[in-house]
Amino acid sequence: MDTVWAGPAQMDGALGDGVIGYAVEAPDGSVGTVIRLSPVPGFDHLVIDAGVWKFGRSVVVPAGMVTAVDGTERVIKVRCTKDQIKDAPRFERDQDTGDLFYLRKLGAYYESLTTAHE
Structural domain includes residue 3? no
Q: Which domain range does residue 62 map to?
A: 17-116
pLDDT at position 84 is 95
Question: Is the pLDDT higher at 113 or at 52?
Answer: 113
What's the pLDDT score for residue 112? 94
| pLDDT for the residue numbered 54 | 62
With 50 as the cut, is the pLDDT of residue 1 above it? no
116 pLDDT more than 60: yes
The CATH number linked to 63 is 2.30.30.240
Q: How many domains does the chain have?
A: 1
Asked whether residue 97 carries a pLDDT value surpassing 50, the answer given is: yes
Q: 23-26 and 75-78 as β-strands: parallel, antiparallel, unpaired?
A: parallel
Asked if residue 56 belongs to a domain, the reply is: yes
Instruction: Report which of residues 7 and 93 the model is more confident about.
Output: 7
* Positions of E strands within 1-118: 23-26, 29-37, 45-49, 58-62, 66-70, 75-78
